[in-house]
Structure 1
Amino acid sequence: MAMQLNDAALTHARGLLRRGEFIDDDRDDWSEHAPTTDQENDFIEENGLVEFAKWHLGEDTDKREDTKGRYHFPYGDFRTLHRCAVISGESRAGQYKHAEIEKSLKDLLDAIDRKAQLDG
């Protein structure tokens, strides 16, 4: 598995945060907030894989670009950035030693927490 950071997705996530399009939820909420397989498939059908990819910070370059399985480490529900998804992804990236993705998620989490504190 050749996992790399998806720079376009990181740019998209930062844009969502700048615009305040995020949910300051708790660590364990991602199991409830994560899109279902059907929701993922519907999103791809309506928007295409390029848009789907923008919601995933990891990209397995061993997989073809036209496959859903190429994209990993989701950070939102196709509408908003979720703090719980970022926490979950950071943990998994660390577990699998994807250092660049882990650091990007950690930086994103810190930014979410700063913005939530300012907004709150």
Structure 2
Amino acid sequence: MTVRLNQRALDHARNLIATGRYVLDGRDAWSEHQPSARQENAFIEEHGMAQYATWHLGIDDQEAADRKGHYKFPYGDFEKVHRCGVLAAESRAGQRKYYDIELAVAHLHGMLDALRQLAEPARRHRINSTEGRHDGG
């Protein structure tokens, strides 16, 4: 099996992150957030296989391009990039030694974790502000 990086998908994921279309979820959430086969089929029917491809960071050259099996390493839910999907893809690419995909996914992981670091102080501030507020009574 020859699996290579899908550059269009990487560019799509970067663009989604840059425009705020991401979810900073936990590592173990992918089983809940990953689209089901029914959702995948509905997306393909509505948007076509070319758009489906942009949600997968790997391309398997031994599968036909008009088959879902041609596309590997999903990273989102057809609306947003999910950190949990990126982490799952990074882990699987590393296990299978697809280094180009692993490096690309590590880049996305870094982008998301930088955003997570920026969001953390703001989240802590909101929690502290809410806990210190009194509504009278």
Into which bin does the TM-score normalised by the smaller protein fall?
over 0.9
Deviation digits for residues 24-68 of structure 1, max 9, x if unmatched? 000000000000000000000000000000000000011111111
* Inter-partner Cα distance in structure 2 for 1:119 and 1:20: 12
Structure 2 equivalent of residue 52 of structure 1? 52
Partners of 2:14 and 2:102 lie apart in 1 by: 15
Q: Read off the aligned partner of 2:15 and give its amino acid letter.
A: G
Q: Secondary structure at the match of 2:57?
A: strand
2:102 corresponds in structure 1 to 102
Distance in structure 2 (CA, Å) of the matches to 1:66 and 1:103: 26
Q: Which SS does the other structure have where 1:73 is aligned? A: strand
Shift of residue 115 of structure 1? Answer: 1.8
How many correspondences in the alignment?
120
Unmatched runs of 5 consecutive residues or more in structure 1 = none
AA matched with 2:115? K
Q: CA deviation at 1:105?
A: 0.6
Identity fraction in percent: 49
State how 1:3-22 maps to structure 2 within 5 Å.
3-22=3-22
Q: What does residue 92 of structure 1 align with?
A: 92
Quote the RMSD (CA, aligned, Å): 0.8
- Kindly indicate whether structure 1 or structure 2 has the higher relative contact order, using CA contacts under 8 Å at least 6 residues apart: 1
Q: Aligned partners of 1:89, 1:15: CA distance in 2, in Å? A: 18
Separation of aligned partners in 1, 2:32 and 2:66: 27
Give the corresponding residue for 1:36: 36
In structure 1, C-alpha distance between the alignment counterparts of 2:4 and 2:26, rounded to whole Å: 27
1:4-42 deviations in whole A, cap 9, x for unaligned? Answer: 000000000000000010000000000000000000000
Deviation at 1:116, TM superposition (A): 2.5
SS of residue in 1 equivalent to 2:35: coil
**What is the distance in 2 between the residues matched to 1:63 and 1:72?**
11
The residue number in structure 1 matching 2:129 is none
Unaligned runs of 5+ in 2: 121-137
Instruction: Tell me the SS of whatever aligns to 2:62.
Output: coil
Give the CA deviation at 1:119. 4.0
